[in-house]
Amino acid sequence: MRGKIKAIRRYKLAGKLTIQTIKEVYDDNIKQYKQLTCYLCLKPIELNQDSLEHKIPLIKGGTNKKGNLAVAHRICNSIKGSKIL
């Protein structure tokens, strides 16, 4: 039970993730790379293969602020897991 309470507190401290923030992260990615591109492997992302990535995972104290978010392939995001680059 203590673990659940800690997790709830951690996620509340991360801040609210809004649709507007997600849109800005995706728009910035396209502006930077000229197409939707994985920030981890730098390869283009095909339709429905994208995911929103926390550069510093929430479990490690990351936030839902725009500067901590990026776009990645689902598989790249999965491989990275809760590691910090």
Q: Which of 20, 37, 47, 21 is nearest to 71 (CA)?
A: 37
pTM of the model: 0.83
Give the contacts of 20 (CB within 8 A, at least 6 positions apart).
none
The tens digit of pLDDT for each residue in 9-38 reads: 555 667 899 999 999 999 999 999 999 999
- Domains defined for the chain, CATH in brackets: 2-80 (1.10.30)
Give the confidence band of 74 by pLDDT, cuts at 50, 70, 90.
Answer: very high
* pLDDT, average across residues 50-59: 95
Amino acid 10: pLDDT: 54
